Amino acid sequence: MFVDRNITEVTIMDVDKKPVLFIILAVVTILAGTLATTFIPLFMGTASPSRENIKFYTALELEGRDIYIREGCNNCHTQMVRPLKFETARYGDYSTLADSAIDRPHLWGSKRTGPDLARVGRKYPAAWHVIHMKSPQSMYPKSNMPPYAWLADRDLNTKYTEAKMKTLGYPYTAADLRALEGKTEMDAIIAYLLRLGNELR
Amino acid sequence: MAQEHAYDYRAVKGFAISSLFWGIVGLLIGILISLQLVYPQLNVTSWLTYGRLRPLHTNALIFGFTIPAAFSIFFYLVQRLGRTQLAFPGLAKALLYLFNTAIVLAALSLFAGMSQSKEYSELEWPLDLVIVVIWVMFAIIIIGTIVKRKEEQMYVSLWYILATVVGVAIVFIGNNLVVPVSLFKSYSVYAGANDANVQWWFGHNAVAFVFTTIPLAIFYYILPKTTQAPLYSHRLSIIGFWSLVFAYLWTGAHHLIYTPLPDWIQTVAISFSIFLIAPSWASVINGYGTMKGQWEQMRTSYLVKFIILGITFYGLQTLQGPSQAIRAFSALTHFTDWVPGHVHMGTMGWVTMTISAGFYYMLPRIYNTELYSVKIANAHFWLVLMGQLIYSVTMWITGIRQGAMWQAMEADGSLVYSNFIDTLTPNYAFWNMRTAGGIIFFAGFLLFVYNLYKTIRLAPKASSA
């Protein structure tokens, strides 16, 4: 019942009778766009800016960034100011390649349930963030952001900090690592937020 | 005679039940996170916060619901279309146990906040390795069965099944290349714009090889089978298939319009997104063409209703998607609730309706029985249709509204709504309506599961295990 009259006329190389050939052709077809738009650009350098002027993450900022990832902040906050007038008016300078050049993974985001955070480090001091993180509703009664007061009660786990810095190739000193002692997760995430928008030397 | 009909449906049944179970879990989490967006006090403890549950919702419905539905229905299709028994039935049984164990571990890890952060690639590297093993086992069973088939010609559904097998493998591995720092933490090998580019190449082709080729494989089989009408055009299905699997891979960067990613990559992605309308509509036209002279079946057959509404939402989805890729439209709707509205027309409309039709078609046949209740199936249809429309339409409205408020500027160049919160709070009414839509959809899904449960319970016990 599936076979229409013209079926033999439109069969090329009998590909629909040879599964292995079919798989090879499908892989080649899939790899064409994959290589052209995604993997060849990796080696073209156009999406990989010079890292000369970029401030590397400190150990505390990196741990804060990992808490940002753990809590899925990127589900509601972008870090991508588009070069559009109404965006730069709201958030500040539009995002450049340099802003995220050392970010693994990137945290550009895809949904703004809350505002963009790419430049938030220029906007508020640490004390503001502490109050806001503990209870967003204390500042904005109608905010829908979950309260994160519990981050202040949790000591920062520094077991893997050195391994992380090494893996990512960020420079650090023994003093940087010692400075993490006694820090809470709240300290770390706020250090990270304060850095956003201040990526360049 | 015994040879011809000795199909092995054990894994088909196991994965069907797994899919329905995880479907219920994924939808429940969806309703919870929808409520959390309006009632932040529902973020009661760290592992129940929105930021951790949202990936759990998407992963549960992609990996927990859609993938086992594909395993189940594909294991049925390769046997029927190849007129042969499933290859490696022992492997299929092991796959069922490994799969469900992996989903439980995946859920626990997301509750705990273990995440690679990249959308639909959140699971950390040990689970990624398990997924690779699962996929290799799946591929061996599918390809093994196809190779030993007795029907020489591979029907369209088998092409889409093979595309799913290789497509998911390529994009999943490509996006999950990471450097581990511990058992629970890793960093992407890519940085910045390259990482984003790889991520959305993956993200959009997860749509291609999970949410498109899976339901298309089901659609091309059950539509002619159900309507008893031959497929409208074999030629169109060939053109549609190869141009679809070619074009999809070029479109990922339409998720990155107006970002610092090199412009040419964005423009190529936009062009291919527009082109993609053609192969997508090849299947829509094939569906409508097959219905020629049979349209009265839309009244008489609940299955045809699911199939045709499914392919119709696919058609709408593949027009809306490319329009969102246009720069001006992206500037307005990107980052707003328009996008979840778009996604859920595809997932609640096209994907779930087609998978539902697949189960409705397949399960009574493999249990040698009739569907328990056509009436309940019709109620299921209308509930999921209403629920999905309420979801999508409310999100489109509030998405455009919020996008317009973000853009609004006074003559002097200052923002009309400079406080972000003022653009956020009008969402709440729409989000409550969305929750209502989700609950209606969920009620329909529960009827679906109940109907299948009763169907299986009432099956004659003599049916081959």
- Give the nearest partner residue to A19 out of B54, B116, B143, using CB atoms: B143
Contact assessment for residue A77 and residue A114, using Cβ atoms and an 8 Å cutoff: yes
Tell which CATH classification among 1.10.357.10, 3.30.750.80, 1.20.210.10, 3.30.70.1450 matches the domain B1-189.
Answer: 1.20.210.10
Query: How close is the nearest chain A Cα to the Cα of B9, in Å?
Result: 23
Say how many C-beta atoms besides its own lie within 10 A of residue B258's C-beta.
19
Distance CA B116, CA A119 (A): 23
Restricting to A residues 35-94, those with a Cβ less than 8 Å away from any Cβ of B are 36-39, 41-42, 46-49, 66, 69-76, 78, 80, 82-87, 89-90
Nearest CB among B55, B119, B246 relative to A32 is that of: B246
Residues B344 and B395 sit within 8 Å (Cβ to Cβ): yes
Which residue in B has a C-alpha nearest to residue A72's C-alpha?
B51
Q: Where are the alpha helices (DSSP H) in A35-160?
A: 59-70, 85-91, 126-134, 136-139
Give per-residue burial for A107-121: e unless 16+ CB within 10 Å, then b. Answer: bbbbbbbbbbbbbbb
Taking only residues 116 to 135 of chain A, the set having a beta carbon closer than 8 angstroms to any beta carbon of chain B reads none
Q: Render pLDDT for B116-129 as a digit per residue (tens, 0 to 9).
A: 999 999 999 999 99
Tens digits of residue pLDDT in B385-407: 999 999 999 999 999 999 999 99
pLDDT at B95: 98
Question: pLDDT at position A8, please?
Answer: 47
Looking at CA atoms only, how far is residue B125 from chain A in angstroms? 14
pLDDT in tens, B273-288: 999 999 999 999 999 9
Q: What is the pLDDT of residue A14?
A: 85
Q: How many Cβ atoms are within 10 Å of B334's Cβ, its own excluded?
A: 25
B357 in Cβ contact with B222 (< 8 Å): yes
Rounded to an integer, the average pLDDT of B306-321 is 98
Set of chain A residues whose Cβ sits within 8 Å of the Cβ of B248: 33
Q: Which is nearest to B9 in space by CA: B66, B65, B69, B73? A: B73
| pLDDT beneath 50: ranges in chain A | 1, 3, 5-8
Task: Determine whether the interchain pair B162/A22 forms a contact, defined as Cβ–Cβ distance below 8 Å.
Answer: yes
Confidence class of residue B1 from pLDDT cuts 50, 70 and 90? very low
| Cβ pair B170:A110 closer than 8 A | no
Q: Which residue of A has its CA nearest to B421?
A: A143
User: If you measure CA to CA, which chain A residue comes closest to B43?
Assistant: A146
How far is CA B175 from each of CA A137, B94, B189, B343, rounded to the nearest angstrom? 37, 27, 9, 21
Partner residue facing A4 (CB), from B115, B234, B413: B234
- Whether the complex's predicted ipTM is more than 0.85 is answered with yes
Write phi, then psi, for B266 (nearest 5 degrees).
-65, -45
| C-alpha B465, offset from chain centre | 30
First-residue to last-residue Cα distance in chain B: 18
Q: What is the pLDDT of residues B176-220, one digit of tens each?
A: 999 999 999 999 999 999 999 999 999 999 999 999 999 999 999
Confidence label for B156 from pLDDT (cuts 50, 70 and 90): very high
Alpha helices in B7-83 (DSSP H): 10-36, 50-59, 67-82
The three-state (H, E, C) secondary structure of A117-140, written as one string: CCCHHHCCCHHHHHHHHHCHHHHC
- Find, among A78, A58, A73, A76, the residue nearest to A148 by Cα: A73
> What is the reported pLDDT for B465?
46
Q: What is the pLDDT of residues A12-23, one digit of tens each?
A: 678 999 999 999
- For residue A193, the distance in angstroms to the closest alpha carbon of chain B comes to 17
- Kindly state the tokens that stand for A130: 């502490």
In this structure, the dihedral spanned by the alpha carbons of residues A191, B195, A78 and B51, taken in order and rounded to 10 degrees, is -80
Percent of chain B with pLDDT over 90: 97
Could you read off the pLDDT of B328-378 as tens digits, one per residue? 999 999 999 999 999 999 999 999 999 999 999 999 999 999 999 999 999
* Ramachandran region, residue B154 (left: φ > 0; alpha: ψ -120 to 50; beta: rest): beta
For chain B, what percent of residues have pLDDT higher than 70? Answer: 98
Question: What pLDDT score does A2 carry?
Answer: 52
Q: Given this model, what pLDDT does residue A1 score?
A: 45
Whole-number pLDDT of residue A6: 47
Which amino acid makes up residue B38? V
Q: CB neighbours of B107 closer than 8 A, spacing ≥ 6?
A: B25, B56, B59, B60, B64
Q: Which of B36, B245, B331 sits opposite A26 (nearest CB)?
A: B245
Residue B279 contacts A, CB cutoff 8 Å: no
Q: Among residues B2, B382, B212, B187, which one has the least CA distance to residue A169?
A: B187
Give the domains, in start order, of chain A with CATH numbers.
Answer: 1-48 (no CATH), 59-195 (1.10.760.10)
Strand partners, A128: none
Residue B4 has pLDDT above 80, yes or no: no
In terms of Cα–Cα distance, which of B151, B117, B157, B139 is closest to B67? B139
Compute CA B271 distance to the chain's CA centroid, rounded to the nearest angstrom.
24
Nearest CA in chain A to B266: A37
* Cis geometry, peptide bond prior to residue A41 (ω within 30 degrees of 0): no
Q: Which of B249, B257, B414 to mutate to test the interface with A (most CBs of A within 10 A)?
A: B249
Separation between Cα atoms, residue A17 and residue B155, nearest integer Å: 9
Chains A & B: contacts with CB separation below 8 Å: 267
Is B188 in Cβ contact with A19 (below 8 Å)?
no
Q: Are B265 and A37 an interchain contact pair (Cβ–Cβ within 8 Å)?
A: yes
Pick from A32, A70, A82: which is nearest to B113 by CB? A70
**Per-residue pLDDT for B5 more than 90?**
no
